[in-house]
Amino acid sequence: MRLNKYLSEQGECSRREADRLIEEGRVVVNGVVAGIAAEVPDGARVEVDGEVISKRVKKAGKKHVYIAFNKPVGITCTTDESIKGNIINFIDHQQRIFPIGRLDKDSEGLILLTSNGDIVNEVLRAENKHEKEYLVAVDQPVNDPFVRGMARGVKIHGKMTLPCKVFKHNKFGFRIILTQGLNRQIRLMSANFGMRVKQLRRIRISNVLLGNLKPGKWRNLTDAELRKLLPNRTEW
């Protein structure tokens, strides 16, 4: 089994996070620092940051965890518990969970977390067109050229963003719906038009709504939400 898949199946982290840990030389297999394409033989001793990862046996009837969390400003979306204000310690869930994607430390709103590393890429891949909806407040009035320009796409990180849906929300605010999630995407897109983002709140991921969930609180996803979010899976 590939090492990144092994780590995700043990509930250690997502495959994407596993790749990062491996690239940073923090994963050891049978006493040897693992490479990015490493395989895990049966009975191997796997360590992350010096801690042995035990093979976890899923108990009969025990389901993976899938939660919706209203992240407050100041919480960092990382599984590194040495970082002050990390999302894992803040939630303090009884099971080992990790975020699906991220929200900037200065942003707030809906983020999903799970113990099932196999579904992370399925949710995040842009080609699966899972919409993410945000309410954004900026420091200058929102006008039609700004709305049209944002919707067409903006060059950030050396490439054009995908076309998206943008609507004026009020004089200093807009609503934007994306199907991709580049680092600090909305802030960088707005900066291209001389706008500084003052507040950014995610209110929807695909069919999962933030609703009345209060900042700092979380809830379990319903079976109906999971069926629509992960239509290609028969179990979660």
Q: Which residues are catalytic?
A: 104
C-alpha to C-alpha distances, 209 to 54, 67, 225, nearest whole angstrom = 35, 12, 10
**Dihedral angle, C-alpha 212, 215, 217, 221, nearest 10 °:** 50
d(CA 74, CA 68) in angstroms, rounded, equals 18
99 is written with which tokens?
């975020």
